[in-house]
Chain A
Amino acid sequence: IAGITQAPTSQILAAGRRMTLRCTQDMRHNAMYWYRQDLGLGLRLIHYSNTAGTTGKGEVPDGYSVSRANTDDFPLTLASAVPSQTSVYFCASSDSGATYNEQFFGPGTRLTVL
Chain B
Amino acid sequence: GDSVTQMEGPVTLSEEAFLTINCTYTATGYPSLFWYVQYPGEGLQLLLKATKADDKGSNKGFEATYRKETTSFHLEKGSVQVSDSAVYFCALITTGGGNKLTFGTGTQLKVEL
| Interface of A toward B, CB cutoff 8 Å | 4, 31, 33, 40-45, 48, 50, 58, 90, 92, 94, 96, 99-108
Contacts and interface: CB of A to CB of B under 8 A. Distances in A.
23 contacts: A4-B43, A31-B99, A33-B100, A33-B101, A41-B105, A42-B106, A43-B89, A43-B103, A45-B100, A48-B100, A50-B99, A90-B44, A92-B44, A100-B93, A101-B93, A102-B46, A103-B101, A104-B46, A105-B43, A105-B45, A107-B42, A108-B42, A108-B43
Contacts of A96: 99
Contacts of A105: 36, 43-45
Nearest to A49: B99
Contacts of B36: 105
A97 to B, nearest CB: 10
Interface residues of B, number: 20
Interface of B: 32, 34, 36, 42-46, 49, 51, 89, 93, 98-101, 103-106
Nearest to A99: B51
Contacts of A40: 105
Contacts of A4: 43
Contacts, number: 56
A102 B49 contact: yes
A52 to B, nearest CB: 14
A90 B41 CA distance: 12
A42 B104 contact: yes
A106 B99 contact: no
Contacts of B89: 42-43
B28 to A, nearest CB: 15
B66 to A, nearest CB: 12
Contact of B99 (A41, A42, A101, A104): A101
Given A42-B89, A45-B100, A48-B100, A106 B43 contact: yes
